[in-house]
Amino acid sequence: MNYIVFDLEWNQSSDKYIKDYGLPFEIIEIGAVKLNRWLKVVDKFEVIIKPQIYRYIHYITNRIVHLSQEDLDNGKPFPEAMQEFLDWCGKDYVLCIWGTSDITELQRNMMYHGMDMLSQGPLKYYDIQKFFSIAYEDGKIRRALEYAVDYLDIKKDIPFHRAYDDAYYTAKVFKKINSFKPKTKKYVSYDIFTAPQSKKDEISVNFKTYSKYISREFADKNAAIEDKEVRSTRCYLCGRNARQQIKWFSVNGKHYYCIAYCKKHGYLKGKVRMKKTDSGSIYVVKTLKLVPKETMLEIADKQEKLRLQRMEKRKAKKEKD
């Protein structure tokens, strides 16, 4: 198996009134480094793409990326460039990026041009930015690529902000992290541009510090939150059902929280995020994480404040009527 460490550059509309909402960001460059199973560089890939939607380079893109209009005009059409990239990747590989957005935008561009998706459901990949945070910080904070390069004392022998250049540095950071904490590779990420299409395609993974569940599609939020698996609170360390002390409640219609208690491991904070597909259906991303008693009390306080706010709104509405 190989690791494909890639980076994208994209262009956008220079006029807010001329924007294709099916493709807000149009890819103009793909750069990648191929690493073997020992994280040794075995090949590289670079291609400039001729834009078809936003034909003139945005001034911000030009300032950061340093691609000229002539460069873009001489580029390849996206479908041709993308197929070359996929052929170069081969058959057995995992995609690696700095952050989360490139995977999503890559698939959005593929869908726009009528190409097959990289996966029929959530796509497994490695987020090297997340790996860096897990290995050297708190697992939550997200740093810029150049920050990580400086932190790890990696020699800066080429510029930043071109697709291949950033892929090159991401690969070097990945290799450094792997030599320091190789187990970070267990913390895989899933791009959910395409939601699971059926129950058998759902994602359920346990990590050392949390669990993640990505559901199939539901007709609406009510159907989603009433689903048995969505509401369940199994401890990810022992697999036992943890009793809910604070049942699922909505904060804003998109996020739901609960607190459960595992007799062996303590309090679990549950969080559900409702996500909408392009067709209007709903799928769920649920995480469960062990938390101290203080967090349980904070969630209880949040629930009580929301209850009081809703009471006040109902009272005000009743008086107005």
Q: Is the dihedral of CA 157, 61, 127, 40 positive or negative?
A: negative
For 164-169, what is the mean pLDDT?
97
For 212-241, what is the mean pLDDT?
95
Cα-based torsion angle of the residue sequence 187, 252, 311, 292 in order, rounded to the nearest 10 degrees: 10
Task: Using the predicted structure, report yes or no on whether residue 206 has a pLDDT greater than 60.
Answer: yes
Which pLDDT score, from 0 to 100, does residue 24 have? 86
Which pLDDT score, from 0 to 100, does residue 66 have? 75
Q: Which CATH class is domain 2-186?
A: alpha beta
Q: pLDDT tier at 19 (50, 70, 90 boundaries)?
A: low
Residue-wise burial string across 49-59, b where 16 or more C-beta atoms lie within 10 A, e elsewhere = bbbebbeebbe
Residue-wise burial string across 93-120, b where 16 or more C-beta atoms lie within 10 A, e elsewhere = ebbbbbbeebbebbbbbbbbeeeeebee
Task: Using the predicted structure, report yes or no on whether residue 17 has a pLDDT greater than 60.
Answer: no
Q: pLDDT tier at 231 (50, 70, 90 boundaries)?
A: very high
Which pLDDT score, from 0 to 100, does residue 16 have? 60
Tens digits of residue pLDDT in 184-200:
999 999 998 888 988 99
* Assigned token pair, 119: 């996966």
For all residues of the chain together, what is the average pLDDT?
A: 92
Between CA 312 and CA 287 the distance in angstroms is: 31
Which pLDDT score, from 0 to 100, does residue 277 have? 85
Domain residue spans of the chain: 2-186, 198-312
Task: Using the predicted structure, report yes or no on whether residue 121 has a pLDDT greater than 90.
Answer: no
Task: Using the predicted structure, report yes or no on whether residue 258 has a pLDDT greater than 70.
Answer: yes
Q: Please check whether residue 82 is in contact with residue 50, taking contact to mean a CB–CB distance below 8 angstroms.
A: no
Task: Using the predicted structure, report yes or no on whether residue 30 has a pLDDT greater than 60.
Answer: yes
Which pLDDT score, from 0 to 100, does residue 250 have? 93
Q: What is the pTM of this model?
A: 0.85
Q: pLDDT tier at 20 (50, 70, 90 boundaries)?
A: low
For 169-183, what is the mean pLDDT?
95
Task: Using the predicted structure, report yes or no on whether residue 112 has a pLDDT greater than 80.
Answer: yes
Between CA 12 and CA 19 the distance in angstroms is: 8
Which pLDDT score, from 0 to 100, does residue 310 have? 87
Task: Using the predicted structure, report yes or no on whether residue 49 has a pLDDT greater than 60.
Answer: yes
Tens digits of residue pLDDT in 135-144:
999 999 999 9
50-59, 127-136, 166-175, 247-256: least confident range? 50-59
Beta bridge partners of 260: 244, 268
Which pLDDT score, from 0 to 100, does residue 60 have? 65
